[in-house]
Structure 1
Amino acid sequence: MPRAARVAQVVVDAIPTLYACALVAYDGTAYHGFQYQVGVPTIQGTLEEALQRFAEPVSRVVGAGRTDAGVHASGQVVAVRVRWRHSLESLLQAWNAHLPADISVRGLVQVPEGFHPRFSAVARTYRYWVYVDGTPATLPRPRRSPLTDRYALFEPRPLDVDRMNQAAALLRGQHDFATFGQPTQGDSTVRRVDQAEWQVVETNLTPLDPFPGQHLVFTVTANGFLRQMVRALVGALLEVGRGRWSLEMLESALQARDRSQAPPPASPAGLVLERVHYPPGLAPFDGGDGSVPGGARPA
């Protein structure tokens, strides 16, 4: 090896390798999901491309959740090993400077080698947003809401929220969710749902819209999710709220363990990965906003 090349290699080797964990938010509308795919924009691919423009990553960016195409996140957790001689703050600022406007690194911390964003997690929380149109029944009803369609499912008629919560209660606990999701090859379809609840989003603002709508949110926490499981569950719960499904029909579909028994999954637009949960002492972001000792967050 020529002397100049040896010197360059020594300089590179002198740069410490940082195992960094980032809290990431994104609007998934323009992306084909989190996981890298050749020839199409993905969250993982965009994070890696941005990092390569100013640093030297020595591993892939690994995420806690493989969100589907069109799904959003406010609390995705990713980790990457990167050669970096400067501060965490400068790494965070540089990364954000090279990312598009629909992806943001909200916080950054250094984590121990034993940490894995996906396999160290013990649970995940998703929220699904629904906008119920307020147009009176005496008028023709619209089919969309330009101000909410990007982040919520548009529902043209009122829903029975109490009935939907009764249905959601049937999902809590440990069940075989084969009807409502697709496992990775060889994986079990049994999951434990700790939280499943619909809420009406209240506001103190005086309504100025002549036909004010209603915002609903479904919060679900489980020790793991099958592919499209949240959207499939929401699709079934909405059928209950519309009066098309009874509680008995939902319970029967759950027990059938048959994918064909589920209604179509709800649109990805309303789904947000809100939080990834880790065991005490291993959670990189205690408050979910990057505010941890030794961490960095945007100024």
Structure 2
Amino acid sequence: MTRLRIDLAYDGGGFFGWARQPRLRTVQGTIEDALHKVLRVSADDADDPLRLTVAGRTDTGVHASHQVAHLDVSDAVLLRCVGHMEVPAVDALARRLKAVLPPDIVIHQVTVAPDGFDARFSALERTYVYRVADRSSEADPRSRGFVLRVDEALDVDAMNRAAAMTLGLHDFGSFATPNPGGTTIREVKNAYWRRIPAVPLVPSGSDMGESYRTPSLESGLLVFTIVADAFARNMVRSLVGSCVKVGSGRKSLDWFADKMAHPVREGSSGPIAPQGLTLEHIAYPPDEQLATRANAIRAVRTLP
């Protein structure tokens, strides 16, 4: 068996999340169907199941500019995709996947994974970014698929004071739901809000003239970046929604602090709309530490 690493991106707007679901269009289901087609394997073949393991399961409507998955496939099955192409089997698989997948999924690369690699459990950290156009932003209608429009002026300083409370190891039970047998304890390594400066596409002083000084697509947006070892279900969107409530003045910083101190799930700290959220980076340790990391992270975490 060969373990392959697949780096990819997708526009989540047309999917019911990552995980395969019966009769629903999902990212995993779409890619696995493509794999069965190009490798000529029946979806009901119990001897050669083509199942993806992903670094981070994204919810319905959530995007990924850099997602990572792995696939275990026998060498004999992998060779089936070569056909007339005089390229290695892994390269042939990447080419054929790119040819049959829909335009809202892009394969960056397919490589043979190093020993000990597990897309999910070997990961050191994941980075999510949430983009908001508030009343102080000049919303661009072209960005509506990946930016949430909020008709309020948001206090970035207050939102950053709330975000700072999430740093470190905490039980995020007020903002997330655990998987069966899992936990909502996570370690947040970085979390902050910033407004993207208004930077023109053509720099000042260009001889192209003022008429070409068009603002960049993200100019003026409020952007939340959060990095953690892992995320529980709905955790990022719920943190964003709670920060927005603080930034709008509808909730206080004391309210946010109480949510952090008492990890109880209830309606006031529920998830915000999904379209503003993008998974942007997965970090892994050096190859020789992959297996050790995977074994360590499988343990259920507890607070000191």
**In structure 2, C-alpha distance between the alignment counterparts of 1:219 and 1:135, rounded to whole Å:** 18
Name 1:46's counterpart in structure 2. 30
**In structure 1, C-alpha distance between the alignment counterparts of 2:137 and 2:281, rounded to whole Å:** 34
Could you tell me which amino acid in structure 1 is paired with residue 68 of structure 2?
V
* Residue 161 of structure 2 is aligned to residue 166 of structure 1: yes
Q: What value does the CA root-mean-square deviation take over the aligned residues?
A: 2.3
Residue among 149, 154, 158 paired with 2:144: 149
Residue among 35, 57, 68 paired with 2:19: 35
**In structure 1, C-alpha distance between the alignment counterparts of 2:114 and 2:270, rounded to whole Å:** 42
Give the CA deviation at 1:281.
2.4
State the secondary structure of the residue aligned to 1:117. coil
**In structure 1, C-alpha distance between the alignment counterparts of 2:278 and 2:190, rounded to whole Å:** 15
* Residue 267 of structure 2 is aligned to residue 265 of structure 1: no
**In structure 2, C-alpha distance between the alignment counterparts of 1:135 and 1:27, rounded to whole Å:** 23
Write the mapping of 1:61-80 to structure 2, written as runs, cut at 5 A: 61-80=52-71
* Residue 5 of structure 2 is aligned to residue 21 of structure 1: yes
Q: Can you give the 5+ residue segments of structure 1 that lack an aligned partner in the other structure?
A: 1-16, 137-143, 285-299
Q: Can you give the 5+ residue segments of structure 2 that lack an aligned partner in the other structure?
A: 42-47, 83-87, 202-212, 291-304
Could you tell me which amino acid in structure 1 is paired with residue 103 of structure 2?
A
8 Å CA contact retained: 2:137, 2:221: no
**In structure 1, C-alpha distance between the alignment counterparts of 2:140 and 2:248, rounded to whole Å:** 19
Name 1:4's counterpart in structure 2. none
Could you tell me which amino acid in structure 2 is paired with residue 22 of structure 1?
I
Could you tell me which amino acid in structure 2 is paired with residue 25 of structure 1?
A
Per-residue CA deviations over 1:263-298 (Å, capped at 9, x if unaligned) read: 3311100111111222222699xxxxxxxxxxxxxx
* Residue 170 of structure 2 is aligned to residue 175 of structure 1: yes
Number of residue equivalences: 259
* Residue 199 of structure 2 is aligned to residue 194 of structure 1: no
Write the mapping of 1:63-102 to structure 2, written as runs, cut at 5 A: 63-82=54-73, 83-85=77-79, 86=82, 87=88, 88-102=90-104
8 Å CA contact retained: 2:52, 2:69: yes
Give the CA deviation at 1:247.
1.4
Q: TM-score, normalised by structure 2?
A: 0.79
Q: TM-score, normalised by structure 1?
A: 0.80
**In structure 2, C-alpha distance between the alignment counterparts of 1:190 and 1:63, rounded to whole Å:** 20
Give the CA deviation at 1:213.
7.2
Identity rate, percent: 37
Per-residue CA deviations over 1:123-162 (Å, capped at 9, x if unaligned) read: 21111111124589xxxxxxx8632221011012221111
Could you tell me which amino acid in structure 2 is paired with residue 248 of structure 1?
D
* Residue 133 of structure 2 is aligned to residue 131 of structure 1: yes
8 Å CA contact retained: 2:188, 2:227: yes
**In structure 2, C-alpha distance between the alignment counterparts of 1:134 and 1:178, rounded to whole Å:** 32
8 Å CA contact retained: 1:253, 1:262: no
Name 1:219's counterpart in structure 2. 225
Name 1:114's counterpart in structure 2. 116
Name 2:243's counterpart in structure 1. 237
Per-residue CA deviations over 1:235-268 (Å, capped at 9, x if unaligned) read: 0000111012221110011112111164331110
Residue among 52, 55, 73 paired with 2:39: 55
Per-residue CA deviations over 1:140-192 (Å, capped at 9, x if unaligned) read: xxxx8632221011012221111111111111011111000000112122111
**In structure 1, C-alpha distance between the alignment counterparts of 2:9 and 2:268, rounded to whole Å:** 30
8 Å CA contact retained: 2:61, 2:274: yes
Per-residue CA deviations over 1:80-125 (Å, capped at 9, x if unaligned) read: 1232234232221111111000001112210135321111112211
**In structure 2, C-alpha distance between the alignment counterparts of 1:282 and 1:97, rounded to whole Å:** 34
Could you tell me which amino acid in structure 1 is paired with residue 246 of structure 2?
V
